[in-house]
């Protein structure tokens, strides 16, 4: 469905439509007051030919789970189950059927008022102390999850799209969301963690401006004992596996300045400084 068609549906407000011409996911806000909830519909993001190529690339080169709508729905379901089981805050799913007019796959989520952490961090009107408090809390959450993911060697506990845009602040909650992408089960856990940390660092550097150094140090204070984090940064910067060397080469070629590898190098210098 296109956006104009969605906007004509009774009782539904469009939160997001990924792409025109009916491609990409759809987010709808449905209901009023305490009955408000969010409906997420998973849709193909590209033409059929491009989807086939993307699925091949995900599996063979990036070693990630599938890119089709059904595969992304399945990855998100597995990840949400894993995160909830271990006590990490995610949007809660609601056991409700899809409206008859919508084809699966899709899922209902709780509605939470708030805004992405990225919006708060970059907003000059938000008090700096509040931003630092949020970064400290994020560091605490990352530390516990990284240790558990490492100990269990469970890549489902590592977020593929780990940016501040995918952490939602609602009251006292820090809710992580967007689990459509994920690594294959046999993917090396240290490589997965290195990629997640690198993405978080780049996201923080883009959003925090002149306060980056201070926010990073507060995040590390929240993280606490950093032996594992040091190992993650070391892996990202120095590991000699063929996959990691290709990732570093591609990263530097794609972004000569402020690359993910540069972020890991800076983190390593802070941890060793």
pLDDT at 64: 87
Instruction: Give the DSSP letter of residue 165.
Output: G
**What confidence score (pLDDT) does residue 10 get?**
59
pLDDT of residue 8: 52
In this structure, the answer to whether residues 217 and 265 fall within a common structural domain is yes
The half-sphere exposure of 243 on its side-chain side, counting CA atoms within 13 A, is: 13
| Same domain, yes or no: 96 and 148 | no
128 and 241 co-located in one domain? yes
Q: Which of 30-34, 121-125, 156-160, 222-226 has the lowest mean pLDDT?
A: 30-34
- Residue 9 CA to residue 5 CA, distance in Å, equals 7
Write the CATH number for 74: 3.30.200
130 and 97 in a single domain? The answer is no
Determine the pLDDT at residue 98.
Answer: 92
pTM of the model: 0.90
Per-residue pLDDT tens digits for 66-115? 888 999 999 999 999 999 999 999 999 999 999 888 889 999 999 999 99
CA distances from 79 to 160, 178, 183 (A): 11, 10, 11
Each residue of 5-55: pLDDT tens digit?
555 555 678 887 765 555 789 999 998 888 899 999 999 876 565 555 555
In the chain, the number of structural domains is 2
Residue 27 sits in the same domain as residue 127: no
- State the Cα–Cα distance between residues 159 and 76, nearest whole angstrom: 10
Of residues 1 and 212, more confidence is placed in: 212
Do residues 125 and 39 both lie within one domain?
no
Q: Count CB atoms within 10 A of the CB of residue 256.
A: 9
Q: Containing domain of residue 240, as a range?
A: 117-272
Mean pLDDT of 188-208: 96
Between 144 and 12, whose confidence is greater? 144
Among 63, 84, 110, residue at a domain's last position: 110
Same domain assignment for residues 152 and 74: no
Same domain, 259 and 127: yes
Q: How far apart are CA 193 and CA 248, in angstroms?
A: 15
What's the confidence (pLDDT) of residue 122? 96
pLDDT at res. 157 = 98
In a shared domain, residues 262 and 145:
yes
For 226-267, how does the pLDDT look when each residue is reduced to its tens digit (9 = 90+)?
999 999 999 999 999 999 999 899 888 877 777 899 999 999
**Same-domain check for residues 35 and 125:** no
User: Looking at 110, 137, 155, which one is the last position of a domain?
Assistant: 110
Q: What pLDDT score was predicted for residue 255?
A: 77
| Residue at which a domain ends, from 93, 110, 127 | 110
Q: State whether 51 and 124 are in the same domain.
A: no
Let me know whether 258 and 162 are in one domain. Answer: yes
């Amino acid at each position: 469905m296109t956006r104009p068609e969605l906007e004509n549906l009774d009782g539904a407000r469009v939160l997001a439509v990924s792409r025109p011409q009916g491609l990409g996911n759809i987010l709808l806000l449905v209901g009023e007051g305490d009955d408000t909830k969010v409906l997420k519909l998973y849709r193909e993001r590209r033409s059929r030919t491009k989807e086939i190529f993307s699925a091949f690339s995900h599996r063979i080169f990036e070693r990630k789970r599938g890119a089709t709508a059904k595969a992304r729905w399945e990855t998100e379901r597995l990840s949400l189950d894993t995160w909830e089981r271990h006590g990490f805050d995610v949007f809660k799913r609601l056991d409700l059927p899809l409206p008859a007019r919508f084809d699966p796959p899709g899922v209902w989520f709780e509605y939470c008022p708030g805004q992405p952490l990225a919006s708060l961090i970059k907003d000059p009107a938000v008090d700096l102390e509040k931003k630092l408090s949020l970064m400290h809390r994020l560091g605490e959450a990352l530390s516990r999850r990284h240790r558990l993911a490492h100990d269990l060697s469970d890549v489902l506990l590592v977020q593929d799209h780990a940016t501040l845009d995918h952490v939602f602040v609602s009251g006292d909650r820090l809710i992580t969301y967007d689990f459509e992408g994920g690594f294959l089960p046999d993917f090396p856990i240290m490589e997965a963690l290195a990629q997640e940390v690198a993405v978080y660092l780049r996201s923080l550097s883009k959003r925090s401006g002149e306060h980056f150094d201070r926010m990073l140090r507060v995040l590390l204070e929240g993280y606490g004992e950093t032996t594992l984090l040091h190992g993650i940064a070391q892996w990202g910067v120095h590991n000699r596996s063929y996959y990691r060397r290709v990732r570093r080469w591609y990263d530097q070629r794609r972004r000569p300045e402020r690359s993910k590898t540069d972020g890991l190098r800076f983190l390593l210098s802070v941890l060793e400084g």
